[in-house]
Every structure is written in structure tokens, then in C-alpha cells.
Amino acid sequence: MHDKIGGYLENVTTAVIAGHTRPDGDCAGSTLALYNYLRDNYPQVHVDLYLEPVAEVYKVIKNADQIISDYDRDETYDVFFALDSSDKERLAGAVKYFDTAKRTVCIDHHISNEGYADENIVFPKASSTCEVLATLMDMDTVDVDVAEALYIGIICDTGCFKHSNTSEQTMNITGKLISKGIRFSKLTDEVFYQKTYMQNQLLGRCLLESFLVFSGKCIVSVADRKVMDFYEAQSSDLEGVIDQMRITKGVEVAVLLTEIGDRKYKVSMRSNEFVDVAKIAGIYGGGGHIRAAGCTMSGTKYDVINNLTMFIEEQLIQND
């Protein structure tokens, strides 16, 4: 394992970067940070970045317009960088480039990552993939655009430095990013806190329709297709909803289902103190972190809720 990104670029003329399906802030931030860093420091390497379309807010990052969101090309690359993706399947359409690349490198922070690439730089204690990536970069050659991309990933995965994954290293790295002259106040407001009117309406709707189970220790809500269609919303418009559910007084676990297909739900889970939601997501083929995890499940919403709450109850009882 090399301690810096440069180590993976020897004799490399073509590189590909990809992240996970339905990219979040850490995914968009880390892939674009690496893309911009390689373009700045390794101009001899041709780099392509494959990612599903990113939410509007992440388009403030430099070169977001260079993202390729179709997988039609038949290219073979010297090196494949998989970022923020805990398993190979999460790379979605980019898997074909992963399978044909001469060498694969995975940079991640998910505890559920079992190491599917040739080289796996996975630090489950790191707040974000952006934090791991920053340690692999030479800070002297990180410019303000790369620094802003890394900052965005860090604030998104730490909930602006309030989640338990925030560490001394997170703050030290963020300090270095601030010294690059990033617009941290503006980015914090515009990327993390700002909501469109529609997103606020959707947040209200999900909270209004939520319900409590297990004496208020678990809160559940469902964003079904008819609600999503009514607001012309995408899953990324629900960002932050689960965090608001999680801070409900007395709640240990929050569960949000988003209907993404016929009898198909994207599940997001958060916990506060003791429930291991990564373990529950893992049972259904998903993953994530102890306090934040997700998976995709099939069945009616009642089936999905029944199945999940059974495992949640098991852990709640153990702690009683």
C-alpha cells in the first residue's frame, strides 16, 4: 500500500474515478477532489470521472460538468479509483471499467467494506472518504478547488462536525483546508443547510406522516412514489430528513423508506447511542456505518417495516 496517491500513478497514462450509485456529498466531493487533484498534478495522465448525476448543490464544485453519467464507452484504463463505495456492486454502471482495469484501488471509510479491489485503503474510523483522501494527498499541491471539494464531503458525512465520526484528525485536516482560503461559511450554508421550498415541504410531509414505535424509541416514515411525484422530487431532495427524525427526543433509531420502484424501497437508518444499524442493513445486502446505514428492500412498505423493526427491537431489548 502506498502512502500517497502518486504511488498509484507510476507508468499510468489513463485513470478512471468512480463513486457509488445515488452519490451523496462525500461521494461527489471525493471523486471531484481526486479528479481535480490528478488534473492539476499529473497532467500526463488522462482521467475520466464516472458518476450518476449529482444533486444541484454539489455542482458548485469545480469540474462537476466533466462528470460522465453514461457508461457507453469501451475504454480500458490503467488504474481504477473506487471512492466511497463499500462494495463493488455500488459502483453500478462503472463496474465494467473496474473489471477491465489493469489495477484497482479502493479508497473508503465504510466498516462494511471487505476489500474488493487490488489495493484497499479503508479507514472505518475516518469521518469520510474525503478525510481518507486528504491524507493521501500532498497538502502543498492541494489548491482551493480541491480543498473545497474535500470540505464539502467532510461536512456532509459529519453533519457539520456534529456526528460521532468527527475526530481530531477531521478537525486538523479541515484546518488545513481552511488555510487554503476555502469559502467555508458560504459552502456550509449553501451545501449543507440551504433547502429549496420543495425540499422543505417534503421534509414537513415526512415528519407529519412519521410514526413512533417501541415506546417512542424508533421513528419511521415513508416517502412513497405518489408523494415524491407530487413534489417532483428525487431521492437527493430527502437529504437531511432522516437527521431531523433522529433528533426527536427519546428516539434511538430513525428509519426512512423511499419508494424507488414497484414494491422496492431505499432504506436509510440512523441511530443515536447503541443500535448497530450497519448490522441490520447488512442482513438485507446493504451496509454503511454503525450509526448510519442503508440498504434496498423489496416488498410492500408494511413488509419492509415489519422486517426492519423486528431486528431493531431485538437490539433495543438487549439494551433494556
**Residues in touch with Mn ion (CB under 5 A):** 26, 84, 128-129, 157
120 lines the binding site for ligand 5GP (CB under 6 A): no
The residue among 143 and 224 lying less far from ligand 5GP, judged by its C-beta, is: 224
Among 19, 25, 159, 288, binds ligand 5GP (CB under 6 A): 288
Please tell me the total number of residues recorded for the chain in this structure: 320
The residue among 39 and 109 lying less far from ligand 5GP, judged by its C-beta, is: 109
Question: Cell 458548485, residue?
Answer: 60
Residue nearest to Mn ion (CB): 26
Residues 6 or more apart whose CB falls under 8 angstroms from that of 285 comprise 295, 296
245: enclosing H helix or E strand: helix 241-246
The DSSP code sequence of 24-54 is -HHHHHHHHHHHHHHHHH-TTSEEEEE-SPP
217 binds, among Mn ion, ligand 5GP, none (CB under 5 to 8 A by kind): none
293 lines the binding site for ligand 5GP (CB under 6 A): yes
Residues 6 or more apart whose CB falls under 8 angstroms from that of 241 comprise 202, 203, 206, 207, 221, 223, 256
23 lines the binding site for ligand 5GP (CB under 6 A): no
292 binds, among ligand 5GP, Mn ion, none (CB under 5 to 8 A by kind): ligand 5GP
Distance CA 189, CA 84 (A): 23
Question: Cell 457509488, residue?
Answer: 20
Distance CA 113, CA 88 (A): 9
258 binds, among ligand 5GP, Mn ion, none (CB under 5 to 8 A by kind): none
Judged by CB under 6 A, how many residues of this single chain contact ligand 5GP?
16
Distance CA 69, CA 49 (A): 9
Distance CA 301, CA 303 (A): 5
Rg over CA atoms, the chain? 19
The residue among 39 and 110 lying less far from ligand 5GP, judged by its C-beta, is: 110
112 lines the binding site for ligand 5GP (CB under 6 A): yes
131 lines the binding site for ligand 5GP (CB under 6 A): no
Residue list 209-268, contact with ligand 5GP (CB under 6 A): 268
294 lines the binding site for ligand 5GP (CB under 6 A): yes
166 lines the binding site for ligand 5GP (CB under 6 A): no
106 lines the binding site for ligand 5GP (CB under 6 A): no
Residues that bind ligand 5GP (CB under 6 A): 24, 86-87, 90, 110, 112, 268, 286-289, 292-296
